[in-house]
Amino acid sequence: MDIKSLLCDSSRATIDKATEIVLSDKNLFNEIFFLSLNKDDKFSLRASRVLYFCTIHAPDLIEPHLNDILFGLKTIKNDSIRGNLLSVFYEIELPYNEEFLGELTQVCFELLNGQSERESLAVYSIDVLYKICKFYPELKNELIQNLQALIPHKKAAFFCRANEALKKLKI
What's the CA gap between 150 and 3, in Å, rounded? 41
In this structure, the number of other CB atoms found within 10 A of the CB of residue 33 comes to 23
What's the CA gap between 171 and 168, in Å, rounded? 6
* Among 36, 119, 133, residue whose Cα is nearest residue 85: 36
* Selected residue with higher pLDDT from 164 and 116: 164
* Residue 100 near residue 66 (C-beta atoms within 8 A): yes
34: Cβ contacts below 8 Å, ≥ 6 apart = none
21-78 residue pLDDT tens? 999 988 899 999 999 998 768 899 999 999 999 999 999 999 999 999 999 999 998 9
Runs of H (alpha helix) within 39-155: 42-57, 59-62, 66-75, 79-91, 98-112, 119-133, 140-150
123-169 residue pLDDT tens? 999 999 999 999 999 999 999 999 999 999 888 889 999 999 999 99
Query: Residue 92 half-sphere exposure, CB side, CA atoms within 13 Å?
Result: 24
